[in-house]
Every structure is written in structure tokens, then in C-alpha cells.
Amino acid sequence: MTASSAEAALFWVLAPLMVLAALGLLFARKAVHAAVCVMFVMVGLAILYVAQEAPFLGVVQVVVYTGAVMMLFLFVLMLVGVDSADSLTETIKGQRWLGVLLGLGLVVVLLGVIAQAAFPPAVGLAATEELTNPVALARVLLGDYVLAMEVVGVLLVTAALAGLVLTHRRRLSVRPTQRVLAAARVAALPQGRTLTPLPAPGVYAQNNAMDTPALGPDGEPLPHSVPRVLRIRGQERSATAVLAEEETLVTREDLRLLGVGPAADATVEQVGDPVATGTTDEGTGDEGPGDERSGDVDGEVR
Amino acid sequence: MEITNYLGLAAILFAIGATTVLLRRNAIVVFMGVELMLNATNLAFVTFARIHGDVTGQVLAFFVMVVAAAEVVVGLAIIITIFRSRRSASVDDVNLLHS
């Protein structure tokens, strides 16, 4: 039995893309890129399952692998640190070439076996599935393999327990109380720590992103209102640039409203100032939940 | 197109997964290589189920998926535990038993 031409087209489109994505797992420097590549391979496999008369497995593939397993991988990547790129230094001499050689050898051997083997003429699953694919699967699963099914259930419960036990952290020190924390905070005052939470990033008319510093009561930008991570990476924006951008927008809007004339300049002065001071108030006076968040980020890094 | 082409794809994916396990240093990427190998075998199972006209192959692929899910839970928990104690997810750094 040969596949239909539609299936052949699907296969020849999907298979090279899947192999490319799988190679992405091999060559991507960052683990997150590798995870995305594997996700693509898994979705492609689900499509191939559906094409191969296994719609139930296709759905399970998407739900279990793409939905649960790869999400778990991404969670662990977030815990371990997304930035940790692989080091490329060889610790075992010749390991890389040996690995490539073994991989190529495996491909050659497997493909050779498949090419040499004589397969019986494919019959397809249409005859065995009286009703639908899930029903046929359930008959076998709960008939011939019911004991294995039970054992797998026990395995899953054990694995869940193992996950809990392995990631459980025993507390080695006394849990710090609020009083202890307060005392520590006051004691750190000479080192430049503040008693209050750190100020939130600035909120402007056009911009309330985390990377823009707030303005203090004196109109000067407060650098510590931007999360420390962004500051270290040099990704913070300057408040003066944001304000200048807004001012040009205001100017342009005024010119558009009044029509371009000699009086436009005077009105710009009038309108421009209150807006600037207004944003200043907003930026510094905001004591919302964002405040705590920036403090949290700082605490993590420290 | 012959249906055995699917087996060829499965073989290539399996070999890429195996090479990843051999070459990559990051424990999480190595783990993803293992997952890729399991997925490749599943594709072979499904293809053989179709060739022989028997859904048992699909049932076995289903079992492989379940066991892989359990394995991922335990494996990732181990990786997190190692990361907590060693501050590294590299398989080369886990050499406490060395010498």
C-alpha cells in the first residue's frame, strides 16, 4: 500500500522541516531555542500521526508533549536561567568528532536496515477500526493491556511523588520573622539601602514601560526606579528623551490643530509645560503594585 | 510514496536525538534529545501499526508517551536539585564521584 499523493505532499513538506528543527536542537546555542525547535518537531509528529490513521495519538501528542512536557521544560529553563548558554570548550578530547561519527553511523545503519528489510504489504487500519480509532485503541488498551495500564498508573503516581520529594527543600535556618527583617533593613541603612520600597518606574503620557525611570520631586530622573537587571544590561531609557519625544508630539498636535502660524510657538510653550509637570507627578506619586515588583526584582538579584 | 519513508524519518530523528545526547553539555538539552528519541520510536510504532493493520502499535506508543511524561518529571526534578546544589546545569560539572 502506498500513501495517497496528498499524504505524500504533506510528508515531503513536513519531514524536511522537522529534520531541520531537530538539527536546531543539535546546533542552537541557547536552550530556549532548542526547546522551541523540539516543540516544532512534536507538532509535526502530531500532524503525521493524524495522517497515519492515528488521530487519538495525534491529539495526545499535542496535549502531552507540546502542552505538558515542553512547558515543563520551559519552566525548568526559567528556573535554571535562560541566559546560560552552552560552553563550547571540549572537556573530553575528540568527543565532538566521535559523537558526530557515531550519529552518522547510526543514521547509516538504521536507514540501511530499513532499506534492506522486506516489509509485508501495508494493509492500513481501516479494517480493524469498526467504530473509531479511540474505540479500537480502548478495546486493546483495556483488554490485552489492562495490567500494564494499572502499572503505568502506579508509575505516574510514583513519579509525581518523586517530583515532590526531589524538589522539596528542607529549611536549614530559622524562618526570619517580620521583626528580624525590619531590624536588618534598619541596620542596612548606612549602606545606602532605603527603608521604603523602591520607587516604581516612570509613568508618562506616552510610555509606562519598566525601562523608563521615574522623576523625583525635584524633576530629576531616579535611576533606582528602573529594575537593576535592566540597568546592568544597559537597557534603560533616559527620561529626558521620553519627555522630549512627548513634547515634539504635543508641538506637532498643536500645529495641526491651530494651523501652521506664527502664534503656534507661544501656545506650545503654554501647553508643553503643564504636561511635563503632570507626568512628573504621576511618575513619582505612583505607589501601586508595580512598586513592590521592582523591589522584588532587586531583591532577587541581590 | 512508500509508507516506509516514515521509518526513514523516524531513524533520522532518532539519530539526531542520540547525537544531541552525545554532544551537548547542557543537561536540559540532553534531556530534550532523549525526548526526541522517544518521539522517533513512537513514529516508528505508529507506522508499523499501519503497515500491519493492528492498533497494538498505537497502544504501545501511548505507553511510551506516558512513561516519557513520568520520566520528564523525575529527570527535571533531578536537574533542578543538581542546579540548586552546584549552580550549574552542565553535565560535565557533575563529577563529585570523580577521583
**Which of A84-88, A120-124, B88-92 has the least mean pLDDT?**
A84-88
For residue B33, give every residue at least 6 positions away whose Cβ sits within 8 Å of its Cβ, in sequence order, or none: A25, B16, B17, B18, B19, B20, B21, B24
- In this structure, of A92-96, A126-130, A188-192, B65-69, the range with the lowest mean pLDDT score is A126-130
User: Is residue B34 less than 8 Å (CB to CB) from chain A?
Assistant: no
Whether residue A57 is predicted with pLDDT greater than 70 in this model: the reply is yes
Name the pLDDT band for A119 (thresholds 50, 70, 90).
confident
The interface predicted TM-score (ipTM) is 0.91
Residue A29's pLDDT band, with cuts at 50, 70 and 90, is confident
Q: For residue B47, how many C-alpha atoms fall within 13 Å in the half-sphere facing its CB?
A: 24
Is the per-residue pLDDT at A30 higher than 80?
yes
Of B1, B15, B24, the CB nearest to A106: B15
Residue A276 has pLDDT above 50, yes or no: no
d(CA B70, CA A63): 15
**Closest Cβ–Cβ partner in A79, A86, A120 for B25:** A86
- pLDDT at res. A154: 95
B86/A contact by beta carbon, under 8 A: no
B82 touches chain A (CB under 8 A): no
* Nearby residues of A99 by Cβ (< 8 Å), 6 or more positions away: B19, B22, B23
Instruction: Say what the pLDDT of residue A85 is.
Output: 58
pTM to 2 decimal places = 0.70
Sequence-ordered list of residues with C-beta below 8 angstroms from that of B22, at least 6 positions apart, any chain: A95, A98, A99, A102, A103
Taking CB atoms and an 8 Å cut-off, how many pairs form between chains A and B?
236
Asked if the model's pLDDT at residue A170 lies above 50, the reply is yes
Chain-chain contact of B19 with A49 (C-beta, under 8 angstroms): no
Residue A297 pLDDT class (50, 70, 90 cuts): very low
The residue with greater pLDDT, A126 or A138, is: A138
Band of residue A200 on the pLDDT scale cut at 50, 70, 90: confident
- What pLDDT, on a 0 to 100 scale, did the predictor assign at position B3? 86
Are the Cβ atoms of A42 and B39 closer than 8 angstroms? yes
Question: From A7, which residue of chain B is nearest by alpha-carbon distance?
Answer: B1
Say yes or no to pLDDT of A196 above 80.
yes
The partner residues of A215 in beta bridges, in order of sequence, read A221
Mean pLDDT on A66-95: 78
pLDDT at A11: 93
C-alpha cell at A260: 501652521
Q: Tell me if A226 sits within 8 A of A213, measured CB to CB.
A: yes
* pLDDT per residue as tens digits for the range B5-54: 999 999 999 999 999 999 888 888 999 999 999 999 999 999 999 998 88
CB contact under 8 A, B36 and A111: no
The average pLDDT across A261-276 equals 47
Q: Above 60 in pLDDT, residue A279?
A: no
For residue A178 the three cell numbers come to 517580620
When mean pLDDT is compared over A22-31, A237-246, B56-65, the highest value belongs to B56-65
Mean pLDDT on A246-270: 71
Residue A278 has pLDDT above 60, yes or no: no
CB A238 within 8 A of CB A225: no
Q: What is the DSSP code (8-state) at residue A214? A: E
DSSP character at residue A190: G
Instruction: Give the residue, A292 or A149, on which the prediction is more confident.
Output: A149
pLDDT, position A83: 60
| Closest chain B residue by Cα to residue A53 | B50
Region A36-58 average pLDDT: 93
Report the pLDDT value the prediction gives residue B26, as an integer from 0 to 100: 84
The whole-number pLDDT of residue B95 equals: 65
Mean pLDDT, all residues of chain A: 81
Q: Which residue in chain B is spatially nearest to A101 when comparing CA positions?
A: B19
pLDDT value at position B88?
Answer: 72
Pick the residue of A7, A76, A144 with the most B CBs within 10 A to test the interface with B by mutation.
Answer: A76
pLDDT at A267 over 70: no
Q: Which of A42, A113, A145, A112 is nearest to B43 (CA)?
A: A42
Residue A47, pLDDT score: 95
